[in-house]
Amino acid sequence: MVIKSKRNFPNLPYFYSLIDWKLPTLSRRKSATLKAQTIDDLARAAKKRVPKVVFDYVEGSALDEIGYSRSQRAIRSVQFNTRILRDVSYVDPSEIIFGKKVDLPIVFGPTGYTRLMHHVGEPAVASAASHNNLIYSLSTMGTVSPLELAEAVPDCRRWFQLYVMKNREDSAAIIKQARDSGFEALILTVDTPVGGIRLRDLRNGLTVPPRIRISTVFAIARKPIWWLNLFTTKKLEFAAFRGWTKSLLELAGTIYSPAISFDDINWLQSAWDGPIIVKGVQSVADAKMLADMGVQGIVLSSHGSRQLDRGVPPIEILQDVVKAVGQKMDVFIDGSFMSGQDVYAAIALGAKAVFIGRAYLYGVMADGERGVEKVIELMRRDFINTMALTGNRNLAEVRQTGAILGTK
Ligand SMILES: Cc1cc2nc3c(=O)[nH]c(=O)nc-3n(C[C@H](O)[C@H](O)[C@H](O)COP(=O)(O)O)c2cc1C
């Protein structure tokens, strides 16, 4: 016997209840942001919004770009241990960093020159961080000064990233600006004794500010809105060095000091009384030395593989570093974290929190502050979902349950 459905007259109230009356948004930019389900989706949207030279500056890394994909593979190789039958009706992804709560274990890492990516620049990123009770780090190479950022987003918890410059007085002047503008901690970047060699930037002829060449005319035709914003908003420059009459090359030569050493940490400890976080640590031995010197935190980082190409992926040494120094100081990590699952992997292997870089830059390039909010929303969604599915109600449980690094 063949089973047949019994038919009625069309049920109009039921039909109406299924209609979604929302009008489609007319802004293509907003629509792409709303539809994005991953950071990769936002990166694809970003690529359509900014000139190639800008996108490449963000996405690219050093030389053969081997380190970056290796880091990504290492993070994705992590498998999560799971506990069952634990009540996960409420999960709490917050963490306490230097005595204060953040709502997710992510920190906005320092990235220079943000107004190149979107004319609203650093304040837009800091504003999204602040709305979500997260910390924002301003780079020495920022397009707003420490004071301008503080004035634009006064409620944002903020850290300042420093390069120890050839001339100590230059560093001291910037440290003073940061202190006077309410920055809570200093991040000392130590993986730039010299600049990395980024072939994409060399091939694209990246300059600061962008130069107008014959090819630029075609670039303007392709991304007119980006160029319009460039020409109709304030001058694009490194704010901390306003008034300096040095070329970009001279500036880089001043900022990156090849003579930087452990003595500089001692000097910094005497010049700054708040927490100091050393960024760019890539070995257990160096982490131990810094812990013995009384530094409050480190970021295991290879600068997103934008400096040394073939460093060890930070996630591969995370557990050993946490075991060696985790009782004495906070261990942060960065490089290729592109989802809440990626962040979960680092927390489960013992990190205090994850610094993000390109992830939020894709958001800001795609859609300014709204794009950054979307990055946070996606990371939060996936992180909380992973916490619940692994049976963990807070970060202490995540670390206890742990994870397995696939590459070991
Ligand atoms: C466009 C760009 C600019 C950056 N500028 C700085 C900087 O000025 N100072 C610094 O310490 N790190 C800088 N970084 C490195 C980041 O702080 C971070 O270490 C790296 O981006 C992490 O990798 P991810 O981008 O894959 O998250 C920059 C990274 C990018 C992508």
Q: What is the pLDDT along the chain (408 residues), one digit of tens a residue?
A: 788 888 888 888 888 888 877 777 778 888 899 999 999 999 999 999 999 999 999 999 999 999 999 999 999 999 999 999 999 999 999 999 999 999 999 999 999 989 999 999 999 999 999 999 999 999 999 999 999 999 999 999 999 999 887 778 888 889 999 999 999 999 999 999 988 999 999 998 887 667 777 777 677 778 888 888 888 888 888 887 776 655 555 677 777 888 889 999 999 999 999 999 999 999 999 999 999 999 999 999 999 999 999 999 999 999 999 999 999 999 999 999 999 999 999 999 999 999 999 999 999 999 999 999 999 999 999 999 999 999 999 999 999 999 999 865
pLDDT value of position 365: 97
* Residue 154 belongs to domain spanning: 28-80+90-404
62, 68, 71, 73 alpha-carbon torsion, rounded to 10°: -150
Q: Which atom of ligand 1 is nearest to the CA of 187?
A: 11
- Closest CA to ligand 1's atom 4: 111
Judging by DSSP bridges, how do beta strands 100-102 and 106-108 pair with one another? Answer: unpaired
Q: How far is the CA of 253 from the centre of ligand 1 (A)?
A: 19
How far apart, in whole angstroms, are the C-alpha atoms of residue 335 and residue 122? 20
Q: Take atom 30 of ligand 1 and give the residue whose Cα is closest.
A: 111
- Residue 1 resides in a domain: no
Domain count of the fold of the chain: 1
How many Cβ atoms sit within 10 Å of the Cβ of residue 174? Answer: 20
The answer to whether 114 and 136 have CB atoms below 8 angstroms apart is no
pTM to 2 decimal places = 0.95
pLDDT for res 241: 75
Q: Ligand 1 pocket test: which of 76, 111, 256, 338 has the largest number of ligand atoms within 8 Å of its C-beta?
A: 111
Helix (H) or strand (E) holding 289: helix 284-292
Q: Could you tell me the distance, in angstroms and rounded to a whole number, from the CA of residue 252 to the centre of ligand 1? A: 16
Write down the pLDDT at residue 5. Answer: 85
Is 266 domain-assigned?
yes
In a domain? residue 13:
no
Could you tell me which residues come within 8 angstroms of residue 400 by beta carbon, excluding any fewer than 6 positions away?
A: none
Q: What is the pLDDT of residue 8?
A: 84
AA letter at 307:
Q
* 328 vs 37: CA distance, rounded Å: 38
Cα separation, 368 vs 118, in Å, equals 6
Q: Is the CB of 80 under 6 A from ligand 1?
A: no
Nearest-CA residue for atom 3 of ligand 1:
111
The H or E element spanning position 30 is helix 28-35
Locus of tokens 């009770």:
133
Cis peptide before 313 (omega within 30 of 0): no
Span from the CA of 92 to the centroid of ligand 1 (angstroms): 28
CB 196 less than 6 A from any atom of ligand 1? no
Asked if residue 9 is part of any domain, the answer here is no
DSSP 334-371: ESS--SHHHHHHHHHTT-SEEEESHHHHHHHHHHHHHH
| Predicted local distance difference test score (pLDDT) of residue 358 | 98
Residue 5 lies in a domain: no
Residue 8 lies in a domain: no
Residue 6 in any domain: the answer is: no
CATH of residue 253's domain is 3.20.20.70
118 carries an active-site annotation: no
Q: What is the pLDDT of residue 245?
A: 56
